[in-house]
Structure 1
């Protein structure tokens, strides 16, 4: 997912695929995991999801997402939960230029990507929507994106 992650002092130094660099503290990671409230039965997937959410929030803070996220890490977490523009989350994870528009059929046929309905984006893995750590059904028609 990332170009590099190194444990450093009180947290992690992360270099994204687009070259963006940040430092995420262990405290910020713990706060993000509490705020995310992800649920699931795959511990590794939960760890990865919490880390990605925490890193996304840190970048949102550094870039002052929505004009409010620069106030604090908590404000950045809040800014992620009030709706995002299409594909904004992918860009914030350093994936700009590593995805393309797709169809819901592409996603149902086991491509990895996202689908958006009514302003809410969801990951699609192995042809099924991820719903806060739970496996959902096949994606229906929406704004679809596949990663490459």
Structure 2
């Protein structure tokens, strides 16, 4: 499934007829629609020179979490650690910001441009422990390709 999605995502990411923001939105929509355990897919980006993340394009339920301070929640921790963060059970995390009571698991993959962590892709799942190493590698691929257009 991920191999097919990689090629579909590449077509969207490299479509020079669309603004970058629109391409990111289409990637969010593609992933949410095609991966059954991706219930919310979005990008957060460093907010200028502030130590916080700002919500970018996303697909899924609306969220109040449009600004996330570095260090807070899973996304805020990834902003500081520069490491992938896979959470099989969000209820077991002390430093977790609940977006919805239906969310059971989360995966956050940092997005690097020229070695700098400038944002991340964040995926919430209503399925307990759904993420595998295959998800991690796939999302790293997506971020690497997106980094080329930012």
Normalised TM-score (structure 1): 0.28
Mark the structure with the bigger radius of gyration. 1
Normalised TM-score (structure 2): 0.28
